[in-house]
Chain A
Amino acid sequence: MAIKTPVSLNGVLNVPEPAAADRSAPARPETFDAVGAMPAQPAPSPKLQIRGLNVFYGTFRAVRDVDLAIPGRSVTAIIGPSGCGKSTFLRTLNRMHELVPGTRVEGSVRLDGADVYATDVDPVELRRVVGMVFQRPNPFPTMSIYDNVVAGVRLTGRRAKSELDGIVESSLRRAALWSEVKDKLKENGTSLSGGQQQRLCIARALAVDPEVILMDEPASALDPIATLRIEELIAELRETYTIVIVTHNMQQAARVSDQTAFFSMGDDRAGYLVEFGPTSRIFTNPLHQLTEDYVSGRFG
């Protein structure tokens, strides 16, 4: 797992070099204050701006004091050891965590500057803008491939029957699945292989025309070939969408992402952001000892 050499990014990604000031900044292992660890903002106005985010399950604090600015039309990877709150953090971005009773969020998440936790924000509407792909492919078992793709469009009340065929084709094309399923759109979605099912779920997410796509370990249940297809797909999607991907697989983070956020777990078992920066720097020249230990495979 050790990644000592500079990571090859396969020419797909264009990672900005970190500012010289960042590289010369001394690592400060005595404090893991995430703000202090952050490099200069990669973009002037981030797509998602997270400030002072704390997540609680009842009285247990699962995520502590996260500040993060996620730039638009790029891939942001979230890595870290198990139980460090990566998935929990991801779910707060489209308020999916609210499905678990007893969860509470402090701090703010701003989407293009708009607070997604404002009292007049409808989480249902939010999720149409910030979509999500899960670890295990979860196509709706009672629906055909076609119906799965348009489920979001149909069931959100925006029904325009004449448009559906076009939405199905374009969504499946963007999810790189069209050629494989175009002759069996009426078949059940669960008849596909695991990797195809996951791309179907991505197509389903794309069909509602989101701006941000959250991916919670989207390839961890797939075989290496299917994983590769998903990674290629992510590389294409970053032209159009803002992608935030949680992954356990550091090579995957290195391959697909433009910037990487490293989370770890504190003594109080609360997850916190250790370091955030361009992926190439996180993997080659991390500021924190903890990050270096993790990306070089010494723990986690």
Chain B
Amino acid sequence: MTTPMAASTEAATRARLTGRRTASRRAVTDRLMRTLALVATLLCVLPLGAVLIFVTINGIGALNIDLLTKAPRALGNGGGALNAIAGTLQMVPLAALIAVPVGVAGGVYVSEFAGARAGRVVRFAADVLVGVPSILIGLFVFTFLVLPFKQFNAFAGSVSLALIMVPVILRTTEEMLGLVPRSLREGALALGIPVWRTVLSVVIPTGLGGILTGVMLAVARAMGETAPLLFTALGSRLVNVGDFGRPMDALPLFIYMNARQPYEAQNQQAWGAAFLLMLIVLIINVAVRARTWGRQIGG
């Protein structure tokens, strides 16, 4: 047991508070570590800023009316990216049309109806699917939607993109519904409202904002995917409107193809398309964040 302290004079107290030999060394270490952490943080943020600035500088000059409204012409003679823009605007919505019902329904099931074990299994499966390299998804779809028909086609492209979107949408839906307070479900069930009706009319509307956020983020992700389209939609220099049985271009494919050409004009088009794609994805992301800023349940 400690004996009671001797009289706490000012001098003795000051000595206790300041007199450690290690104190100054600790201060130096503290400053060093803080600096290192700050540098690491800057290194994380830097690439984002660098990419944004770099693509903007190189791409903004190439973004013109021709790029937006004209199909590509023969090598290096102007033209535009209309084939890619039209392709992205067709394939991504079709992918969303496939993925949203599946993903949302799956998320609702996991959140509201699945038992603890089934929920864990589905959640794990979705997380694994998110982590699968997207080129593998392209190859997978290639084997059963391209090979049998001996024809690259836009439908296979949409299916590939949908496979990318489904797990993202499922997980967001499930998480957002998990945030809906239990008391609301109880309130509805206590009125004699059946479970399915409670989910449909009380739980989902309450979590809708969050679900829409997940859908939009999945759409943004699908727009930027290149690899799943390489073996499926393939890409095309023709403007394909509505023929999902034929190859179709997309903005990432357009960038990929044109950036590899030895001609300055086509490289410029790639930059323009890159800027356009970045702009679209950025707008979707910012719009979603702005919508949900500071709100508890995503909506």
Q: Are B188 and A151 touching (Cβ within 8 A)?
A: yes
| A151 to B192 CA separation, bound complex (whole angstroms) | 10
Q: Is the CB of A127 within 8 A of B205?
A: no
Question: In angstroms, how far is the closest chain B Cβ from the Cβ of A62?
Answer: 18
- Which residues in B have their C-beta under 8 angstroms from that of A139? 187
Q: Which listed residue, B183, B194, B208, touches A134 by the CB 8 Å rule?
A: B183
Residues of A within 8 A of B191 (CB): 127-128, 131, 151-152, 155-156, 204-205, 208
Interface string of A88-117 (1 = CB under 8 A from B): 000000101001010000000000000000
B184 within 8 A of A: yes
Contact with A along B172-206 (1 / 0, CB 8 A): 00000000010111111111111101100110011
| Chain A 135-161 interface residues, beta-carbon cutoff 8 Å to B | 136, 138-142, 151-152, 155-157
A243-269: CB near B (< 8 Å → 1, else 0) gives 000000000000000000000000000
Q: Are A152 and B192 in contact (CB under 8 A)?
A: yes
Interface residues on B, range: 20 to 34
* Complex Cα–Cα for A139 and B192 (A): 15
Knowing A134-B183, A138-B184 touch, does A127 contact B189 (C-beta < 8 A)?
yes
CB neighbours of A101 from chain B (8 A): 116
Distance of A281 Cα from B188 Cα, bound (Å): 37
Known: A140-B202, A142-B205, A155-B201. A134 touches B187 (CB 8 A): yes
Taking the closest CB of chain B, its distance from the CB of A253, in whole angstroms, is: 22
Residues of A within 8 A of B193 (CB): 124, 151-152, 155-156
How distant is the Cα of A8 from the Cα of B207 in the complex, in angstroms?
A: 48
| A128 touching B183, Cβ below 8 Å | no
Q: How many A-B residue pairs have CB under 8 A?
A: 77
Complex alpha-carbon distance, A136 and B195, angstroms: 21
Considering the complex, give the chain B residue whose CB is closest to the CB of A135: B183
For the complex, give the distance between the alpha carbons of A134 and B192 in Å: 15
Q: In the bound complex, how far is the Cα of B208 from the Cα of A138, in angstroms?
A: 18
The complex places the Cα of A204 from the Cα of B188 at a distance, in Å, of: 10
Chain A residues contacting B190 (CB-CB under 8 Å) are 94, 96, 127, 131-132, 134, 205
Contacts of A127 in B (CB 8 A): 189-192
Chain A residue contacts of B181, Cβ below 8 A = 138
Q: Which residues of A contact B195 (CB under 8 A)?
A: 124
CA distance in complex: A96, B193 (Å): 12
Q: Does A125 contact B (CB under 8 A)?
A: yes
B118-144 Cβ-contact flags toward A at 8 Å (1 or 0): 000000000000000000000000000
Check A140 against B206 for contact (C-beta < 8 Å). Answer: yes
Q: Mark B188-232, 1 if CB is under 8 A from A, else 0.
A: 111111110110011001101000000000000000000000000
> Which residues on A sit within 8 Å (CB–CB) of B189?
96, 99, 124, 127
A128 CA to B116 CA, complexed, in Å: 29
The answer on a CB contact under 8 Å between A140 and B187 is yes
**Besides A155-B198, A155-B201, 19 other CB < 8 A contacts?**
A96-B186, A96-B190, A124-B195, A125-B192, A127-B190, A132-B186, A138-B186, A139-B187, A141-B206, A151-B191, A152-B191, A152-B192, A152-B193, A155-B191, A156-B191, A156-B193, A156-B197, A201-B187, A204-B191
- Which 10 residue pairs of A and B lie closest in terms of their CB atoms, listed nearest first? A128-B192, A152-B191, A132-B190, A142-B205, A127-B192, A138-B187, A138-B183, A155-B193, A155-B197, A124-B194
Residues of B within 8 A of A (CB): 116, 181, 183-195, 197-198, 201-202, 205-206, 208
Sample of 14 A–B contacts (CB below 8 Å): A96-B186, A124-B189, A125-B192, A128-B192, A131-B192, A138-B186, A139-B187, A140-B187, A140-B206, A142-B202, A151-B191, A152-B192, A155-B201, A208-B191
